[in-house]
Amino acid sequence: MKKTIIYGIISIIFILLLAVISYIIINKTARENAIDTILNTKAWMDITFSAKYKDLRNTDTTKTFYKSEKNIKIPMLLYHDIVEEEPERDLFYMYTTQEQFEKQISGLQELGYRFISMEELIQYNKNELALPEYVALICFDDGYTGNYLRAYPIAKKYQVPINIYVIDEMMEQPGYLTWAQAKEMADSGLVSINTHGKRHIHYEEISTVELVAEITYAHEQIEKHLGKKVRKVFTYPYGTNSKETREALKEAGFIQNLTDNKINYGKSIDYSGLHRIYVLNNESAYKIAQKIYDINPLQRVIRKTLKGTIQKMYPQLLKVE
């Protein structure tokens, strides 16, 4: 008797689930909403994260470690433009509203994160500086005006160092930074200006020799306009890189940033390919912290499958810039 009831309940749940899934498959809007919900709902990943999250909350965030002492995670969070209001049509990862940016920065600070500069990372890597367990770097690609108008004020307000990667030929163009803005920010000591290339192209399409020449030129332009020596750091447009270009730029003395949604680990920092993570406009500080933890292997598989499915259905959604 008891068994029959259980079977009955399972059948009803199964039929309901089937109905919902069929509805979602048939109805395009419902399908889009469902994907949105899956991507935005905190709950679906919170279960396994909660233990780690508690750990973060209970950690003494003032305690610091040398590289030799602990293999800390060093996430580099990637932004593009910081805008006043959410644009109607744009690639969703290309903008963050100023309001969201402030919430993410202050939220991560509240969670115990400390934002560090590239110089601090370098010192840590030499075992000369001890860092707390929860640190992150903030990066901006392309050099949009919004970096000066809306990100820089937040950086000053929360005393957060930021790294901006500019495209030489886009400087002074509408929507992009001017050299005067770049210099003002660099002079504040809070902002590092580095190169994202002379042009915003797929650098694998030109020869490695030309690539090194262009990146060196773009770097020298920054030094010229800022009126000071700048550390050689390069960020690949579209994240397109190869072993050959990485080797050549390493030889030329460049620290290189990839864009591949992976984490850098303190003990194996590789200057010829630092990993960066996309931060999306709708993500809370809590969700960003989840991303940094990158959850357990099962969740990774689920996420990968989900990402693959979305990529097939909405390829433009996951395009890399």
Q: Which residues form the interface with Zn ion (CB under 5 A)?
A: 141-142, 237
CB of 58 to Zn ion, least distance (A): 38
CB of 156 to Zn ion, least distance (A): 24
CB of 304 to Zn ion, least distance (A): 24
Burial class (CB in 10 A: 0-12, 13-18, 19+), 8: exposed
CB of 142 to Zn ion, least distance (A): 5
* Residue tagged 């200006």 (tokens): 193
Nearer to Zn ion by Cβ, of 176 and 286: the residue is 176
* Residue 269 dihedral angles phi and psi, to the nearest 5°: -60, 125
d(CA 234, CA 240): 12
User: What does the block give as tokens for 162?
Assistant: 């930021």
Give me the residue whose beta carbon is nearest to Zn ion.
Answer: 141
Number of other CB atoms surrounding residue 205 within 10 Å: 9
Number of other CB atoms surrounding residue 264 within 10 Å: 21
Nearer to Zn ion by Cβ, of 96 and 290: the residue is 96
**Which residues are CB-neighbours of 133 under 8 A, at least 6 positions away?**
59, 61, 63, 65, 70, 72
Nearer to Zn ion by Cβ, of 181 and 195: the residue is 195
* Residue tagged 């809306």 (tokens): 150
CB 95 within 8 A of CB 144: no
Nearer to Zn ion by Cβ, of 112 and 143: the residue is 143
CB of 25 to Zn ion, least distance (A): 36
Nearer to Zn ion by Cβ, of 101 and 236: the residue is 236
CB of 120 to Zn ion, least distance (A): 24
Nearer to Zn ion by Cβ, of 101 and 176: the residue is 176
Number of other CB atoms surrounding residue 277 within 10 Å: 20
